[in-house]
Amino acid sequence: MQYLVQTSEIAAGKAMLSRTFGPSRRCAFLPAKILQCTRALKPQRPAGAPWLPTTIFAAATPIGTDPSFSFSPIAFIETALTQVHSVTGFPWWLTIVSCTVALRATCTLPLAIQQRRRVARLAELQPILKAWEGTFRQQMKAQRGSRSLLALNKAQITYKQKVRELYRTYNCHPIKTIILPWVQIPLWITASLALRRMAAFPAPWLETPMAAIEGFTTGGTAWFVDLAAPDPTMIVPLTIGFLHLMNVELNKSIVNLGGRKDHPLMTFLFRCLSIVIIPVATQVPMALSLYWATSAAFSTTQNIGFWLLKRYRNAP
């Protein structure tokens, strides 16, 4: 009975295909006929016209080589600079300066303000933390006398919980005070790589275009007309080193005004970097040096504002 039902279903299917495709395209549910039916159902196309998939793949561009498919941060900054230059009509040097100021004002300045406040709250919290640390040490000495390992572990857990509670209450966890460098340093590197690429400046292990972007060689001003070439006068590299050194000293003064001690090793390291960046800036394109100088000038202005607020208004 089951065999008869299956035979009738096959016959019905054959009749349906015959009505749909006509007598010339009858198909049987046999393996030998499947390929033949598939070829018979192939859509007709004009003579000489290529098959549709061939047309699609021939016209397509690989994703890796099409700029519209590039979503890297470097490509994003390149596109943003180009769009600002096209929309505003600014020369390239003014485009770089204005975009640098806008980027620092919107991305790093709010984080710098929050960091100052958190560092100030953390400094105010230090006496409380030291008091709890003294209490914990007394408990540790008492537990060592009783040789109770369980009580010693309990005292340690209580101290850590109290410290976490204080950090949460004052919203000044030490990890949050280093958010600014984790944002500012990658942003600085990404923008530098984007300008390097726009100037077609060769660098090891990095792809370099054949020529600088249109208008870069004549988009400067004053003595630096060619933004794709280094500064011939060393004025901008020396300015970069001076501004970075000033930022180091301003940060040290702000820390001392807050009643905190600076880290001599870190201060010495940043002073050395301020000097090292001068010969580096003499070898890079003027577009890159201009970005570094503008960013350093923004940091200097920002730190002067923080110093004035701390000195005359006792702000964080």
Q: Are residues 218 and 296 in the same domain?
A: yes
Q: Are residues 28 and 91 in the same domain?
A: no
**For 190-204, what is each residue's pLDDT tens digit?**
999 999 999 999 888
Structure tokens of 208? 């370099």
Q: Are residues 37 and 185 in the same domain?
A: no
228 assigned to some structural domain: yes
62 assigned to some structural domain: no
Residue 199 domain boundaries: 73-117+179-312
Structure confidence at residue 137 (pLDDT) = 75
Q: Give yes or no for residue 67 having a pLDDT over 60.
A: no
140 assigned to some structural domain: no
Greater model confidence, 35 or 186: 186
Structure confidence at residue 52 (pLDDT) = 38
The structure tokens 């090292």 sit at: 276
Structure confidence at residue 27 (pLDDT) = 43
SS3 44: coil
Q: Are residues 88 and 24 in the same domain?
A: no
Q: Is 98 exposed, middle or buried (0-12, 13-18, 19+ CB in 10 A)?
A: middle
- Give the separation between CA 180 and CA 108, rounded to whole angstroms: 7
Band (5; pLDDT cuts 50, 70, 90): very low
Among 43-47, 186-190, 239-243, 251-255, name the one with the lowest average pLDDT: 43-47
**For 133-159, what is each residue's pLDDT tens digit?**
777 777 777 666 555 666 667 777 887
Greater model confidence, 162 or 199: 199
Structure confidence at residue 101 (pLDDT) = 96
Structure confidence at residue 233 (pLDDT) = 92
Q: Give yes or no for residue 28 having a pLDDT over 70.
A: no
Structure confidence at residue 161 (pLDDT) = 85
Structure confidence at residue 8 (pLDDT) = 55
Q: Give yes or no for residue 239 having a pLDDT over 90.
A: yes
Q: Give yes or no for residue 117 having a pLDDT over 50.
A: yes
Calculate what percentage of the chain has a pLDDT beyond 90. 37
**For 88-108, what is each residue's pLDDT tens digit?**
999 999 999 999 999 999 999
49 assigned to some structural domain: no
52 assigned to some structural domain: no
CA 229 to chain centre: 27
- Give the separation between CA 269 and CA 290, rounded to whole angstroms: 24
Q: Is the dihedral of CA 125, 129, 132, 134 positive or negative?
A: negative
55 assigned to some structural domain: no
Q: Are residues 272 and 233 in the same domain?
A: yes
145 assigned to some structural domain: no
Band (20; pLDDT cuts 50, 70, 90): very low
Average pLDDT, the chain: 77
Q: Are residues 88 and 189 in the same domain?
A: yes
Q: Are residues 246 and 293 in the same domain?
A: yes
The type of residue at 190 is T
What is the total count of domains within the chain? 2
54 assigned to some structural domain: no
Q: Give yes or no for residue 178 having a pLDDT over 70.
A: yes
Q: Are residues 30 and 98 in the same domain?
A: no
Structure tokens of 2? 């089951």
Structure confidence at residue 151 (pLDDT) = 66
